[in-house]
């Protein structure tokens, strides 16, 4: 599935700037004018992952903003994982809105960006009025953290994240170019069925050598820019988003059993190994609504993996626009 850019919005070209948030510098890109849509990326990524959606939404009359999340790209990157809990991430988002004089926004998140966006919906419903989650379904906080739940169920020596969280050797992720290209390919829907990434099968890990330079659904521009930022930052501060998840659980018992009631959309790819781990069988909308009552629609994409914003860029953009046009915020 090729990623073809839509006609660029010449009236509202993408602008890049650095913002000082609580004394720390964050890089953002912005495009368009109108109701605000804030985009949050995951690991390993940067704000430009959203350029297709930003351009489409700008053409549809929205003001779109994407930031390098803390730990990535040109944004603040503390080394201590405890500074990557939801309290800190959501504070970044709220203070960014304050600096830009924005009262309310819709949130679009992918991967860890989706998890953080979901926490933001729970913590600040006064500021965040609608949610689009890519590749990560919402699950309310229970009695046990996600990491401890996996340990209890025998996944500590299988689930990919445990090895990443314990590995502080940056050299194991070098060269950056090879690592990023491998991850892009194996997490996508491009590999032959049965060979793509499986988060609990070491033989199908994300670091295997890719058989292609870059998949056809992405662009050299995006890949080169992503590589250039990770050559500066490394991977460890990005991995801190995994390490900080337990801190979020420990810091915020008030989130237990709290549900997202704001209008929401969930988009995921059938060939995404992570989503198939979360729900091996395709859930019904009614099943998802039991823990996510604000969910309006689920979009399941054929032959798409973990990067729907790239692999099915036009479909994702059109689904987001259709969703936002239904609601007021």
Q: Following DSSP, what letter does each residue of 150-182 receive, concatenated?
A: HHHTT-TTTSHHHHHHH---GGGG-SHHHHHHH
**Residue 241 appears among annotated catalytic residues:** no
CA 93 distance to own-chain centroid: 14
Contact in structure between 304 and 270 (CB atoms under 8 Å): yes
Residue 249 to residue 54: CA distance in whole angstroms: 32
- The two tokens of residue 144 are 């046990």
Q: Of residues 45, 68, 92, 111, which has the active-site annotation?
A: 111
For 105, residues 6+ apart whose C-beta sits below 8 A from its C-beta are 36, 37, 38, 65, 97, 127, 128, 129, 329
Compute the residue count for the chain.
329
111 included as an active-site residue = yes
In the residue annotation, 12 being an active-site residue is answered as: no
The rounded distance, in Å, linking the Cα atoms of 87 and 85 is 5
241, 292, 306, 310: the active-site residue:
306
DSSP string of 226-249?
Answer: HHHHHHHH-SHHHHHHHHTHHHHH
Q: Which of 242, 266, 292, 310 is catalytic?
A: 242
- Give the active site residues: 111, 242, 306
């Amino acid at each position: 599935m090729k990623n073809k850019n839509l006609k660029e919005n010449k009236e509202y070209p993408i602008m890049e700037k650095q913002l000082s948030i609580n004394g720390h510098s964050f890089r953002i890109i912005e495009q368009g004018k109108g109701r605000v849509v804030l985009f949050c990326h995951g690991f390993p990524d940067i704000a430009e992952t959203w350029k297709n959606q930003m351009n489409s939404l700008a053409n549809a009359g929205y003001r779109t903003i994407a930031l390098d999340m803390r730990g990535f790209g040109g944004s603040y990157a503390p080394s201590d994982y405890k500074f990557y809990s939801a309290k800190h991430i959501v504070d970044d988002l709220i203070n960014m809105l304050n600096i830009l004089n924005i009262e309310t926004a819709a949130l679009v998140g992918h991967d860890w960006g989706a998890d953080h966006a979901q926490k933001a919906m729970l913590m600040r419903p006064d500021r965040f009025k609608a949610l689009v989650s890519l590749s990560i379904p919402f699950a309310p906080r229970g009695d046990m953290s996600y990491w401890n739940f996996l340990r209890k169920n025998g996944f500590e020596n299988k689930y990919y994240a445990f090895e990443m969280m314990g590995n502080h050797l940056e050299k194991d992720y070098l060269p950056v170019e090879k690592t990023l290209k491998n991850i892009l390919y194996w997490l996508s829907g491009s590999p032959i069925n049965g060979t793509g990434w499986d988060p609990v099968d070491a033989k199908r890990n994300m670091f295997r050598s890719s058989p292609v330079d870059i998949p056809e659904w992405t662009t050299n521009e995006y890949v080169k820019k992503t590589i250039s930022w990770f050559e500066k930052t490394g991977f460890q501060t990005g991995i801190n988003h995994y390490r900080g998840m337990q801190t979020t659980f420990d810091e915020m018992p008030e989130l237990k059993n709290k549900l997202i009631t704001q209008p929401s959309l969930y988009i995921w790819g059938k060939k995404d190994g992570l989503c198939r781990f979360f729900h091996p069988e395709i859930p019904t909308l009614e099943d998802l609504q039991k823990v996510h009552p604000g969910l309006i629609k689920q979009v399941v994409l054929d032959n798409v993996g973990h990067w729907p914003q790239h692999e099915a860029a036009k479909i994702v953009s059109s689904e987001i626009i259709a969703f936002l046009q239904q609601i007021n915020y």
